[in-house]
Amino acid sequence: MKLDPFLTSARFVKGVGPGKFKILNQLGIYNLKDLLYYFPYRYEDRRRLKKIKDLKEGRPQSFEAEILAKGSRRARNKLSIFQMALGDEGGRINAVWFNQPYLKDNFKVGERLIIYGKILKRNGLQVINPEYELIPEDEAPEDTLHTKRIVPIYGLSKGISQRVLRKISFNAVNEFAEVLEDNLPENLKKRYGFININKAINDIHFPESNDSVIAARKRLIYEEFFGLQLVMASKKHNDKYVRTGIEFSFKKPLVDDFIKKLPFELTQAQKKVIAEIRDDLIKPRSMRRLLQGDVGSGKTVVALISALYALSAGYQAALMAPTEVLAEQHYRTFKRLMKGFKISIGLLISQRKKKEKSELIDKIKNHKIDIIIGTHALIQESVVFKKLGLVIIDEQHKFGVIQRDILFKKGQNPDMLIMTATPIPRTLTYSIYGDLDVSVIDELPSGRKKITTWWVTKKKIDGAYDFIKQEIKKGRQAYIVYPLVEKSKKLELKAAKEMYEHLKKDIFSKYKVGLLHGQMKADEKDKVMLKFKNNKIDILISTIVIEVGIDVANASVMLIEHAERFGLSQLHQLRGRIGRGPYESYCILVSSALNDVAKRRLGIMSKVSSGFKIAEEDLMIRGPGEFFGLRQHGFNDLKIADLIKDEAVLKKARKDAFDLFREPEFIESSAHKKLFKYYIKPFI
């Protein structure tokens, strides 16, 4: 029997009726492949049956016993209780089930069964809501699914139990695992000693031993990464050999002149990255490059130099940022650095007046604007470029793939530079951006000093306020950051508006205090930021709106209230707003957090300054699905592989997948068609 596991509905599996199918849908199970690849998340070894007299209190254990008596009753709270007295030649134990009155019809006195559950001592031995298995006279494999074996434990949804899902999985594996086609190339299976797919699927669900679980996981983890990397390798191949791009020819010494006039020296890391981008721009293919750099590493200057390369070849450049605050910051920075050059720079954001926007859009269309900076407003249908050569996406994880593609399609295969100030762990880079070339600015500009970070409890907040006053007396400025704009009825958290009034009146009455938050209008935000930048505000009370977009060299202190409410990467981004000048800088994390995760996060922030190290730690704490706070990247669909624990396997799978696409004859081969159909096509 030949079948397509992507097209065969899970309804074909024995035990899956219409009601169960809807419940399986809640678990992401629709077709046969979904069900076969819905793996257990752990196992319980229930092979070792004990005598009742040898059972240990407090541990889950398995034992075989005879039903001596049974009965049902109702407690005072109307709770249904079903109870059985069980015994063997050495002892007795009571098994109790709550709110399962139907069980009384499942058992007969004198029958033998296997029980698995946690043993308690309450007027003798007792086991509450245990798993069970009746022992039939002629035992079949499915008769011992739940005990007397290594038992799979699955993630559940409301309306389905472990027993039911285990039985459905058994039916699926028993009927369909053997007919699955093994699509992994033979040379890779031999190289790594992998078992075939049929045995791997069988053993991952219903293993005979711990070794069989290990062998199945080894095969399935590799294959999951291999399939993902084939998608990346295919995309990169298409970009390189199929998608013809612009072959830039730089006719003017614009970039050299600009670099000479910079008021600072570029770091070696910046120079290296600029060279990588320049090499891409002169090639006749569309550049797809990810630029990673820690907070304050100088990505903006690299982006501007990249744009100038495009301009010197006669093209336009566009930079899209996720917020108006950040777009405006880039616009001001570009204008300041380009002073004295005859370069036209425009800012397109939704807050601009209709007439101004219309005039700007007309200038873009007629190439009277060289560099256009904006937000989502850039992807409006009315925005047409005369000659778009370079697209720059900043803080890329805040945009969807479709949004990026819309801007890309406004040119004839323009080059694309994707930037992020959130350092991305290598495993995520391989998995999310494996089709891109990667550049890393891993060096901070000279003069940047390490930021001293303290974690203090709320009891020491007055001391923190005194420290801020001392810094202001030295001529410095400070941020105080809160997680909320306004006080919440549900959360007992301080909020920016409320604390602004309190701090301004009671704590910092002798100082100039400002307020900034996301609910303010753009022009109001601009006025506040400009005042702070010009040192007309000593202390800026803010929400995370300052995470990006404000660059004030004189700010030397940041106090973050309820620091446990922020993720590691977000805390690092916030902290990056200070330490931008020649002064010693300090970040004070205020939290009386008691849970282990919060303690771990705050401990890391107090000791670690590298954004890349923090990103690795953040990934380990939150997992890949929450790293960006998005669910659009595909790594959320990993069924068995772990990006952190299995990094070595990921590297092997990546190399193997990319090596295939380096073979000239591979694209036209039957092997490519087979791999494309099974691994690549479902994801494109």
| pLDDT tens readout for residues 165-180 | 999 999 999 999 888 8
> Residue 430: is its pLDDT beyond 80?
no
Outline where 338-451 has alpha helix (H).
354-365, 401-408, 426-432
- Residue 142 above 60 pLDDT? no
What pLDDT is attached to residue 636? Answer: 47
Pair of tokens at residue 464: 């923190």
Q: Is the pLDDT of residue 340 over 60?
A: yes
Task: Give the H/E segment covering residue 234.
Answer: helix 210-237
Q: Tell me how far apart the alpha carbons of residues 153 and 159 are, in angstroms, rounded to a whole number.
A: 16
What pLDDT is stored for residue 106 in this prediction? Answer: 86
Higher model confidence: residue 223 or residue 157? 223
Q: What percent of the chain has pLDDT over 70?
A: 92
Alpha helices in 238-353 (DSSP H): 254-261, 268-281, 299-312, 324-337
507 DSSP assignment: I
For the segment 494-512, the average pLDDT, to the nearest whole number, is: 92
Q: What is the mean pLDDT of the chain?
A: 86
Collapsing DSSP to helix, strand or coil, 355 comes out as helix
Q: Once rounded to an integer, what is the mean pLDDT over residues 383-395? A: 92
Residue owning tokens 């997992």 = 623
Question: CA triplet 44, 216, 166: central angle to 5 degrees?
Answer: 45
Dihedral angle sign, alpha carbons of residues 364, 369, 372, 374: negative
Measured CA to CA, the distance from residue 219 to residue 188 in angstroms comes to 10
Neighbour count for residue 297 (Cβ, 10 Å): 26
- The overall longest dimension of the chain from CA atoms, in Å, is 97
Beta bridge partners of 345: 371
Q: What is the pLDDT of residue 350?
A: 80
The per-residue pLDDT for 630 is 38
Q: What residues have CB less than 8 Å from 116, skipping those under 6 apart?
A: 44, 46, 60, 61, 62, 130, 131, 132, 146, 147, 151
The secondary structure of residue 440, as a DSSP letter, is E
Alpha-carbon span 61 to 629, nearest angstrom: 40
Residue type (1 letter), 515: L
CA distance 420 to 302: 12
Report the pLDDT value the prediction gives residue 331, as an integer from 0 to 100: 92
**How many other C-beta atoms can be found within 10 angstroms of the C-beta atom of residue 674?**
13
Query: Is the model more confident about 93 or about 413?
Result: 93
Q: What is the pLDDT of residue 632?
A: 40
CA 9, CA 304: separation in Å to the nearest integer? 52
Helix (H/G/I), strand (E/B), else coil: 536: coil
Average pLDDT over residues 656-684: 83
- State which amino acid sits at residue 287: M
Instruction: Give the model confidence (pLDDT) of 235-280 as tens digits.
Output: 888 776 666 788 888 877 899 999 999 988 999 999 999 999 999 9
Which tokens is 109 given?
A: 């006195």
Report the predicted TM-score, pTM, of the whole model to 2 decimal places.
Answer: 0.67
Going by C-alpha positions, the residue among 205, 196, 71 that lies closest to residue 150 is 205
- pLDDT bin (cut points 50, 70, 90) of residue 48 is confident
What would the pLDDT profile of 590-630 be if each residue is shown by its tens digit?
998 778 888 888 999 999 888 878 877 877 776 655 544 43
- The pLDDT of residue 399 is 61
- Give the per-residue pLDDT at 241: 62
Does position 668 have pLDDT exceeding 60, yes or no? yes
**Cα(614)–Cα(573) distance, integer angstroms:** 11
What confidence tens digit (pLDDT) does each residue in 118-131 have?
999 988 899 999 98
Tell me the average pLDDT across 173-190.
Answer: 91
Residue 493 clears pLDDT 70, i.e. is over it: no
Q: Is 478 exposed, middle or buried (0-12, 13-18, 19+ CB in 10 A)?
A: buried
State pLDDT tens for residues 5-19: 778 899 989 999 999
Report the C-alpha dihedral over residues 528, 529, 530, 533, rounded to 10 degrees: 130
Q: Is the pLDDT of residue 209 over 90?
A: yes
Cβ-based neighbour number of residue 630 at 10 Å:
13
Q: What percent of the chain has pLDDT over 90?
A: 46
Q: What is the pLDDT of residues 281-315, one digit of tens each?
A: 998 888 889 998 887 788 999 999 999 999 999 99
Sign of CA dihedral 641, 642, 647, 648: negative
CB 633 within 8 A of CB 480: no
Q: Mean pLDDT, to the nearest integer, of 408-437? A: 80
The backbone torsions φ and ψ at residue 514, rounded to the nearest 5 degrees and listed phi first, read -120, 165
DSSP state of 577: T
CB 648 within 8 A of CB 195: no
